[in-house]
Amino acid sequence: AQSVTQLDSHVSVSEGTPVLLRCNYSSSYSPSLFWYVQHPNKGLQLLLKYTSAATLVKGINGFEAEFKKSETSFHLTKPSAHMSDAAEYFCALKTPGSARQLTFGSGTQLTVLP
Amino acid sequence: DTEVTQTPKHLVMGMTNKKSLKCEQHMGHRAMYWYKQKAKKPPELMFVYSYEKLSINESVPSRFSPECPNSSLLNLHLHALQPEDSALYLCASSQPVQGASEQYFGPGTRLTVT
pLDDT in tens, B52-89: 999 888 889 999 999 999 999 999 999 999 999 999 99
What is the interface size between A and B, counted as CB pairs within 8 Å? Answer: 54
Helix (H) or strand (E) holding A76: strand A73-78
A104: buried, middle or exposed (CB in 10 Å: 19+, 13-18, 0-12)? buried
B99 touches chain A (CB under 8 A): yes
Give residue A95's identity as a one-letter amino acid code: T
Contact A99 B56 (CB under 8 A): yes
Q: Do residues B39 and B32 touch, judged by C-beta distance below 8 A?
A: no
Kindly state the percentage of chain A with pLDDT values over 90. Answer: 78
pLDDT at A86: 97
Range list of H helices, B1-114: none
CB-CB neighbors (< 8 A) of A35 in chain B: none
Which of B92, B60, B59 minimizes the C-alpha distance to B77?
Answer: B60
Between A42, A97, A104, which is nearest B42 by CB?
A104
Residues of B in contact with A90 (CB under 8 A): 42
On whether the CB atoms of residues A64 and A57 are closer than 8 A, the answer is yes
Measured from the Cβ of residue B57, the count of other Cβ atoms closer than 10 Å reads: 13
pLDDT mean over B18-39: 94
Burial class (CB in 10 A: 0-12, 13-18, 19+), B37: buried
The answer to whether B42 contacts A99, with C-beta atoms less than 8 Å apart, is no
| Mean pLDDT for all residues in chain A | 92
Q: How far apart are CA B111 and CA B86, in angstroms?
A: 5
- pLDDT band at residue A27, thresholds of 50, 70 and 90? confident
Q: Which of A41, A42, A94 sits opposite B100 (nearest CB)?
A: A94
CB atoms within 10 A of CB A43: 21
CB B80 within 8 A of CB B16: yes
Residues in a beta bridge with B74 = B23
Question: Is residue A78 within 8 Å of A68, Cβ to Cβ?
Answer: no
In the sheet that B73-79 helps form, which strands lie side by side, from edge to edge? Answer: B4-7, B18-25, B73-79, B64-70
**pLDDT computed for residue A9 by the predictor:** 97
How far A34 CA sits from the closest chain B CA (Å)? 8
> How close does chain A come to B108, measured CA to CA in Å?
6
Closest C-alpha among A43, A96, A41, A85 to residue A60: A85
Q: Does position A98 have pLDDT exceeding 80, yes or no?
A: no
Rounded to an integer, what distance in angstroms lies between the CA atom of residue B112 and that of residue A4?
30
pLDDT of residue A41 exceeding 90, the answer is: no
Which residues of chain B make contact with A106, given a CB cutoff of 8 A?
41-42
Reply yes or no on whether the pLDDT at B7 is more than 80. yes
